[in-house]
Amino acid sequence: MVTAAGLATRFEFPQLFDGYQRRRLGSLDFAWAFEDFREHCRRAIDVNDAQTVCDVGGGWRPLFSLADVHDLGIDYTVLDVSRHSLERTPPEYRTVCADICDPPRELDAAFDLVFSMFVAEHVRDGAAMHRSIFEMLRPGGVAVHVFPTLYHPAFVANKLLPEQLTQGLVRRLVHHSDKFPARYSWCFGPTRSMHRRLRAIGYEVLEFRPFYGTYYLDRVPVLRAVEDGFSRWAARRRMPYLTSFARLELRKPAS
């Protein structure tokens, strides 16, 4: 567990999307996928009395600061496949360098809560990721994920276009230099097929919340207006195949 000695290192999760104007989609607005995630995970810790927590893909910037970890009194592990990302993680955090699709067996039944933020779209095999996390959870443990979804046009384009081209577009549209290969394995909204797949692994699906809209076109007003209209149309109909992001909360049965 991170101790009070490590509190001098401040490594807060940034409010990356404060500059984007919220769409008028209420609780279905894409902004909630970003703005509410840390608080949602905090609530999951409280409600489930989680003591051991794993932050998957948090190497470049853990979701919870050292002060948060200390205040919550949790045993916090950052797991990331990238050694380069983990080199940027303050040394006070416990870290594991591993592929979430094939984590070390010593992590089996090690955690009360496992969460990931924008990791699922990058893994090579979504089924393997969810099975591995199922094994990492203790009986009654909970997993929470937020991720972009197909078949929103922005993410279909990201999947199909050459990586070199999409890297340039990300830098131009959102001024973000970190861009990882996007595969979108098992990255869909709350479709019946996704519910069946997750239950087949053994999970209870506690929440599968859809979101609509994106921030990518905020700097292109004409296209932004078109996307806003498309997003409102899809949100009114709760169309599971046209979500832009989703938040998924799963439980491993207690017995």
Residue 3 pLDDT more than 60?
no
pTM of the predicted model as reported, rounded to 2 decimal places: 0.87
Cβ atoms of residues 79 and 100 within 8 Å: yes
d(CA 182, CA 31): 21
Tell me the per-residue pLDDT of 22-67, one tens digit each, with 9 for 90 and over.
556 788 999 888 888 999 999 999 999 999 999 999 998 999 999 9
Q: pLDDT band for 16, please (50, 70, 90 cuts).
A: very low
Closest among 224, 228, 154, 217 to 184, alpha carbons compared = 154
Tokens of 64: 């919870």
